[in-house]
Structure 1
């Protein structure tokens, strides 16, 4: 998951109020539970030292959250008497999460917001295609392309002139498929998508698929559901797109963990492109070496104390170390929050690793719950 949408949280200093809120059911008892949850969240913020203006802003924002618009709830981040960011959740929190701290509380957001990849859906027919970007902000128009409109329909006769006409139809199809593939490649690059799903007639999908650049073909799938025509959307199409996103994400996590296991420090004097543990990660984020931050939510290191300054790369394991980085008044924060802030401002990716299932299969990596794939290899320091 890319964290660029969290940028507003790092443009100003805290402290921050963070509340993960489930609006419950849309009935009388649900309304009562929502009111009680709002009171509990605000009371928690007050007990932890939040100022009255920020608590009031949070209360107003929570009261506006309802099950019809946000069935899985929202997270609200507020500071300085105003709500800075409110983000829809993909899954409701199992409990109310509220806190007042120097940094926003971010790991639950990654768990409760779908980290399924950004998907570019191409709705194709014989004359062109419409592109739609599916990401955290919901479906968004990503452009369209129109090819030649005539001739595109074949005849059923065997007359020579008709066969010639059919050849022209075939040429039109081929030309349009090439134009769609070219436009789709451009839309893929401009949209920042991670994968592509082709929707339309099997022949048209295949013609476009085979003309895509190899790098795009490798992340492209097809579905038999749906078409370009208006009103052709269906639950089956929506499920096919979501399943394509889930499978892509599973493969991505598996590949990342394979690379992590192979590359982490473990062999003396061996160059590595993966690290784990808070001290090594702190060093890596200070040097902007983190390509992908790995977080296992049940890891003990997530809550480990670290020290931060005003700048995202001012992160240290000890308070005295933070002062040597130029921060006279460092603040204690959770390790995961400090690392996520640094990852966000350095355009690092973040992957949530499934918790260990306790079957001893070695899935409980990274050790302690925090690790990273690095942007370049380095020689570990001598022991």
Structure 2
């Protein structure tokens, strides 16, 4: 996973105020609950020495995700009185937290965003005509609808996104409503629009949700898709599509995407993981464990850092001024002649080194690739003797 979305956090020095907040709205009086949670974190930041301008910048963005249904959260970052980044979290944080530190506390955000797989989700619903204004805000709504009884229309609802953030950061949505007797001749046009959508967003997976009793409607559509896309289609055949307000509504398509993509890696991460396994077969000690990862980052030789969810990281690592200056201890940096260094939380220090050295991050499911310490590193070049961290 590329980490360019974190660039705003590494273009200026800290101190950084970082906040993770549960902003779920599936409770009674959510605004009051969110305000109470924020006040606790605001007070924590002020107690750590955050300036009021920075805290005020954060306050303006808290709860701005009020249009999102269900459980979710926010990650917010500010420095020197300016809001730098606000990201919606597909899952609320395990606990709210506010931290002021030299480095942004961005590792939990990066982990929640992984594996960042682009997808196209399609729901096919067969039923009666829906109200004329139902879905009117969607793009591409077919207006050629007559007033017929139940079972006389096909509705196609599609949405693009990136798993797992699609539910809180949706992409393009299209909706069509077609008389059943026009489906055979209309499906090619719908398939072309879906193919364009998939190509435009570089969808690696197409999740098609259908009624298990209806094989003909989705079969007609899939057969009209380009051959290159048919191999990416996964059919969710569990009766999830039942009509308006059901599975085709906002956020629910993404739940079915999750069933398909949970535990998967993006195509790019899969390739990097395969390269890592080949490398580890030759150089195991240089490929896994926190010591190997830090050594590779010191040399600017890390192509990708692999982290298993729940990796066993040390409490802290040591950083110098320059990006490659990362070490397990202050003594290690002193041995390289580094005279100015500081202790930082290990997850923040690793992410800082990964971003600043242009490496990528792969977050692995727990049992995908067993790793010492839950950490691995794919080297950018053939192994070479260690160089100075200066």
Q: What interval of TM-score do these two structures reach, taking the shorter chain for normalisation?
A: 0.5 to 0.7
Per the TM alignment, residue 367 of structure 1 is displaced from its structure 2 partner at its CA by 2.2
- Counterpart in the other structure of 2:160: 133
- The root-mean-square deviation of aligned C-alpha atoms, in Å, is 4.8
SS across alignment from 1:91: coil
Per the TM alignment, residue 16 of structure 1 is displaced from its structure 2 partner at its CA by 0.8
| In 1, Cα distance between equivalents of 2:321 and 2:202 | 32
- Counterpart in the other structure of 1:16: 16
Per the TM alignment, residue 15 of structure 1 is displaced from its structure 2 partner at its CA by 1.5
Superposed CA offset, 1:204-246 (max 9, x none): 233135x422xx544332346799xxx8673168656533344
- Counterpart in the other structure of 2:218: 202
Gaps of 5+ in 1: 145-151, 155-168, 355-361
| In 2, Cα distance between equivalents of 1:133 and 1:50 | 39
1:208-219 paired onto structure 2 within 5 Å: 208-209=224-225, 211-213=226-228, 216-219=229-232
SS across alignment from 1:58: helix
Distance 1:223 1:34, change over 3 A: closer
- Counterpart in the other structure of 1:158: none
Equivalent of 1:337, from 324, 332, 348? 348
Rg: which structure is higher? Answer: 1
TM-score normalised per structure 1? 0.67
- Counterpart in the other structure of 1:367: 372
CA contact (8 A) 2:119 2:204 kept: yes
CA contact (8 A) 1:8 1:84 kept: yes
Greater share of helix:
1
Distance 1:364 1:375, change over 3 A: closer
- Counterpart in the other structure of 1:281: 293
Distance 1:33 1:191, change over 3 A: closer
| In 1, Cα distance between equivalents of 2:256 and 2:285 | 31
| In 1, Cα distance between equivalents of 2:295 and 2:49 | 32
| In 2, Cα distance between equivalents of 1:104 and 1:351 | 19
CA contact (8 A) 2:77 2:86 kept: yes
Gaps of 5+ in 2: 126-139, 143-155, 176-180, 211-216
Distance 1:198 1:114, change over 3 A: same
CA contact (8 A) 1:307 1:330 kept: yes
SS across alignment from 2:172: strand
SS across alignment from 2:121: strand
| In 2, Cα distance between equivalents of 1:55 and 1:153 | 57
